[in-house]
Each structure stands twice: as structure tokens, then as C-alpha cells.
Copies of this chain bind each other. A is one copy, B any other.
Amino acid sequence: MVIVMNQNATGEQIKRIIGRVHQAGLRTHVVEGEFRTIIGIIGDKKTIMALAVEALEGVEKAVPISSSYKLVSRDFHPQSSIVDVSGVKIGGGSLVVMGGPCAVESREQLMEAAHIVKEGGAQFLRGGAYKPRTSPYAFQGLEEEGLIYLAEAREATGLKIVTEVTDVTAVDLVASYADMLQIGARNMQNFHLLKAVGRSGKPVLLKRGLSATIEEWLHAAEYIVNEGNYDVVLCERGIRTYEEYTRNTLDLSAVGALKHLSHLPVIVDPSHGTGKWHLVRSMSMAAVAAGADGLMIEVHPNPAEALSDGPQSLNPGNYMALMKDIIKLADFLNNEVR
């Protein structure tokens, strides 16, 4: 951390700050600039973070130099991680696809979706049994009934199950059915839930918060890993911006940024990321070309009948065509480019 003093900070004020920093067991380097004095602080990240020096008199601002996440950082763990979910590996070069409806609506809908997803070549079935919805009057999910259908679909197709858990009290139940627990965007900073899935022993898919910075996202992952669970996959799903044409702005540069900063695998959800099915194809291709380890795509046997997020779901025909091209593209990139 670097403390920038006011132009008219007194020697007394500077001394007081240095005293406090040393008291905390940290070292300082004082640099006198033309107009201002700057104090660099060196030592343990956690201790630095706990300082509230900005509140001291004479301080203009405090500039953090390095992030306080550690376990998820590439500095700490230079090799890219591979997360094994019931035998399917995420990360390490192959492309994983998670397909399925936004919400589990009925046994028939889910089974039909599962067979399509499987036929297209995906490895995971997605589908929400617990749906966090903006309005209390919108469909909130089938809850345990939905989980049972997901397990049946796994039985029937061999697909792995990834599904969202929205509350601490449901972690054990969801974990007893799913292969991978999803933390949704709205819960990315639900720290109790992060700790709970960290203790669950299940791999976790951590979606980016609606307006989370990359750094906050990695801190959220750090909460999970800090509980001893290293099986975390990050999922970019669009961020909130002023643009109104798309539901969110899909930040594909996050793929490269995360691979630079962290060792965790990264997948992309172009369905939520754009909110428009006709943009899912181009953004899926782009995500694969950007180096994503996988995709999460909404597929519905009949999007116009969907109880949730129909406008962003692919119909079976579009899904099949996309899967064919994505697989070709991934092969091309693996063989011809990398």
C-alpha cells in the first residue's frame, strides 16, 4: 500500500502514521516528492488491509498495490488448475459444455432437454430447481422435485448435473443430488453461502456478480478455497452497464484477465450474458476463441413455453448447429493454433 499525504501535511502527521504502521508490525519507506510525501508500506497483506490509515489526518489517499487474495492467485499457484467433476475434467485444454433450460419446469421438459443436450455433445446438464427472481410473483422453481428430475436425467443420459444453490440451509440437499454446485450472480457475495459450499466437498461453479470487479470475484473464490475446497470454476455471465440492447454486457476480456491473475478454470455463459438467443452463437464462438475452458448455454425444447428466460434460450435446432461448430472450432484451435 502507498499512502499519499496532503500537500500541506505536517511532519507531525507523517510521524504519527509511520508510528502506527510500525506498531502493526509493518515496514515503511518514505519518499518525498516535489509536492507531497508518499509512504510505502511493506509486509503481510492481511495486516496491511486491516489498517485504516486513510482516516488519519494529513492523508490524501491510500493506494493498494497488490490484491489480498492469495490461494486463487497465479502468483501463489503458477500451474493452471484442472477441476474434476465426477470424472469430467474442466480446464487443461478440452472444452466442456453445460447445456439445459434456465429452470426445471417438469419431468417431461427436463428429460426432453437432457436428451437434446446429450445428443449435441455436451457433458453437463444445467437447470435451476431454486430460481432467484427479481419479482416475488415470478416462478420460483420446483425445489427438491426439480433436483429429483435432474438426478433422473443424469441416470438416463450420463450427463453430469450442475445446479444452483441459493441458501445455506439447502446446501446439503442440493449437494446430495448434484455433481457441481452453482453460485449465481446475485449470491457471489453471499459470504455465508460461499463458506458453506466451500465446506460441502463438491466442486463449485462461481458466477460473476452483476457488477463485480474481477478482483471482487477472485476474493469470492478465495472464500470458497479458504475453506479447503480447491475445486472452483469461474463463470463469466455478463456485467451490468448502461447498454440497453443486451441484457448484460458479456465481458470476454475477463477470460484472459482471469487466466493471467488466477489458476482457476474459466467458462462463459453467453445466454445470460446477452439475453438474446440470436447473439448466443457468435458469443459462444468468441468465448471459445478467447480461450474459455467451457460454455454454459441455455437450451429449451420449446423456448416460447419457457417459464424463465425463454428469450435467451436456444431451440434444439440452433443448439445442435452451434455444438457442431463449437466442437470443430475447439479442435481447430487445439490442433492448428495453440
A residues whose Cβ falls under 8 Å from a Cβ of B: 2, 4, 7, 20, 29, 31-36, 38, 40, 42-46, 49-50, 52-56, 62-63, 65-66, 68-69, 75, 132-139, 166-169, 186-187, 189-192, 210-211, 213-216, 219, 222-223, 226, 239-246, 249-253, 255-257, 260-261, 273-274, 276-279, 281-283, 285-291, 300, 303-311, 313, 325, 328-329, 332-333, 336-337
Contact A305 B52 (CB under 8 A): yes
> Knowing A138-B49, A219-B136 touch, does A36 contact B66 (C-beta < 8 A)?
yes
- Extra A-B contacts (20), CB below 8 Å, given A136-B223, A253-B279: A2-B2, A2-B65, A7-B75, A29-B29, A29-B40, A36-B65, A50-B139, A55-B310, A134-B216, A134-B219, A135-B219, A169-B169, A239-B243, A245-B261, A250-B251, A252-B282, A256-B279, A256-B281, A286-B287, A332-B332
Please name the residue on chain B nearest to A313 by beta carbon.
B55
Which chain B residue shows the least CB distance to A215? B245
Interfacial chain B residues near A261, Cβ < 8 Å: 245
- Can you list 24 A-B pairs with a CB-CB distance of less than 8 A? A2-B40, A34-B42, A40-B40, A49-B135, A50-B307, A53-B304, A55-B277, A68-B138, A136-B219, A168-B168, A169-B169, A190-B190, A211-B240, A239-B249, A240-B242, A241-B241, A250-B253, A253-B273, A256-B282, A285-B290, A285-B291, A285-B337, A286-B287, A286-B290
* Interchain CA distance A274-B53 in the complex, whole Å: 17
Residues in chain B near residue A240, CB distance under 8 A: 211, 242
Closest to A222 in B: B136
The answer to whether B211 and A55 have CB atoms under 8 Å apart is no
Contacting pair B66 A65 (CB below 8 A): no
Q: Enumerate chain B residues within 8 angstroms of A65, measured Cβ to Cβ.
A: 2, 4, 33, 36, 38, 63
Complex Cα gap A276–B303 (Å): 38
Note all chain B residues with C-beta closer than 8 A to A54: 310-311
